[in-house]
Amino acid sequence: MGKSKIKPKELHFLKSKGDFDIAAICREANIILRSQRVTKDELLQYIINTLEMPEKTDADNRFKSLVGYLQTKNYQPNIQSVGNDIKGVVLLRKPLTYTIYGAEGIEPGAIEQMENAMSLPITLAGALMADAHEGYGLPIGGVLATTGNVVIPYAVGVDIACRMCMSVFPIKPDIIRTKSEMLSQILFRTTIFGVGSKNKNHLDTSLFDRKEWSSTMVIKRFRDLAYSQLGTSGGGNHFVEWGELRITAKNPLLGLEPGNYLALLSHSGSRGFGSEIALHYSKLAMERVKLPGKARHLAWLDLNSQEGQEYWLAMNLAGDYASANHHDIHAKVARELNEHPLKMIENHHNFAWAEILPDGRKAIVHRKGATPAHPNSLGIIPGSMVHPAFIVKGKGNAASLSSASHGAGRRMSRSKAMQSFTQSDLKFVLDKWGVELIGGGLDEVPMAYKDIETVMGYQSDLVEVLAKFFPKIVRMANPERKHRWE
């Protein structure tokens, strides 16, 4: 083993990391290759691990003679120049440890994706939420903190700034039973669902007066698409629904008296605009940073580069657009109902934030399908079309990077759900919970999701429950108007 030699050019990344004697390191490494049972790739990986996290590098007598050359006091970590192999592929390192919530309910594919993310040379910390399941790049339910000058588009997600929004009205929830037809008709008149859906009736387009819409060629290219889809919802698990909000105790953060209220809850994101932004910059990232195998979707953009700055600007604009999208829907519903909400609660998931970690390090925290749970922050964690949603207050738990789940999480794929259940199964569970479904399909059958009460039990250290919302009239996309990106 180990006949292939390490060449000085394969250690070129050391030049930007400190005052290293590359010739001596190369010479010592090749002695090890000749005398020990080790491959060149293993040795290069060990060098990267020793540089990036020396306190966690395993003691290995085979490499003892090399360690001294790598422990220079002049070494400064620099993610601008990470280790590459001879083909220019970035070398991964031993995964950092991270906390998993509800591990027994998480599929192996999601764990593998999280392990890949924790092996990136730019990763600082991470956590996996109890609703986690496999996605693209970072798993859904993955939280990843990277060094403060990079962002990973696929760790944000394709539906940038997908979010929850709730309006609480000063109306008793008895109206759901006594005037269900009226409430259903309001949803029919005010909501538009499905991939490619458009809206010509906007209440407030002031967001489009902002200069950011003409700041980059990519944003300008998709501005008209964004405008045409303002006030619409996607397919898949996106919804707008009436339900009963139950508050059992007064909390100053929530600001509502204990009791039961009529509430409107919606779930959707930045529509086609966010999807196009994500796909464009994910492709760019993968062209710039080559990662091995299944980790390739975790490629990042340097925030000091033009592409990185463009993506960060577009991502934040998509976040504001997603919020405006919900506000347009809720305003139309409130107008039809002839009532002003007492309270509006909302939060992103599928986003990246610049934050300070508990140890003082600056980081970019990606929450892909995870709810921010900073101390005293409000959030919404939904269940399924029949199971309750939870209004929560964050506890700022450091182990979860101040995060919680963004829902119950799928326990089976959409295709598996459609193979496993029938319309009769769906009707049975809707009748059991007293829920009216408008649109929707078997891919969103409640049995395809994990038990939300169990998921909430796993994260009692992450959030405090302030109220519960029980869906009663649910509007979703028709089966033929679904799309995997939304």
pLDDT of 478 higher than 50: yes
Q: How far is CA 470 from the centre of its chain?
A: 25
Q: pLDDT band for 86, please (50, 70, 90 cuts).
A: very low
**Domain 162-270+315-345+372-481: CATH superfamily, name plus number:** tRNA-splicing ligase RtcB (3.90.1860.10)
* pLDDT tens per residue, range 421-443: 999 999 999 999 999 999 998 99
The stretches of 231-297 forming alpha helices (DSSP H) are 271-288
Residues 6+ apart with CB under 8 A from 117: 123, 126, 137, 138, 142, 144, 155, 295, 298
Q: Return all residues near 455 (Cβ < 8 A) that are at least 6 apart.
A: 102, 105, 130, 131, 405, 407, 408, 409
Interatomic CA distance for residues 399 and 126, integer angstroms: 8
Cα–Cα distance for residue pair 236/461, rounded to 1 Å? 30
- pLDDT tens by residue, 234-273: 888 999 999 999 999 999 999 999 999 999 999 999 999 9
The ranges assigned to domains in the chain are: 8-70, 162-270+315-345+372-481
Q: End-to-end alpha-carbon separation of the chain, Å? A: 49
pLDDT at 45: 75
9 or 369: which leads in pLDDT: 369
Lowest-confidence range among 4-8, 93-97, 216-220, 316-320? 4-8
Give residue-wise pLDDT tens across range 151-184. Answer: 999 999 999 999 999 999 999 999 999 999 999 9
Which pLDDT score, from 0 to 100, does residue 124 have? Answer: 97
pLDDT number for residue 255? 93
Q: How confident is the model at residue 17 (pLDDT cuts 50, 70, 90)?
A: low
Give the global pTM: 0.81
Look at residue 153 and give its three-state secondary structure.
helix
Chain centroid to CA 211: how far?
Answer: 27
Residue 38 is predicted with a pLDDT of 78
Residue 170 is predicted with a pLDDT of 97
The single residue listed with the structure tokens 């030699």 is: 5
Q: How far apart are CA 222 and CA 100, in angstroms?
A: 38
pLDDT tens digit sequence for 97-152: 999 999 999 999 999 999 999 999 999 999 999 999 998 889 999 999 999 899 99
Q: 87: pLDDT confidence band, cut at 50, 70 and 90?
A: low
CA of 337: how far to CAs of 164, 205, 210, 284, 333, in Å? Answer: 21, 22, 31, 46, 6
* Mean pLDDT rounded to a whole number for the chain: 89
Tell me the average pLDDT across 298-325.
97
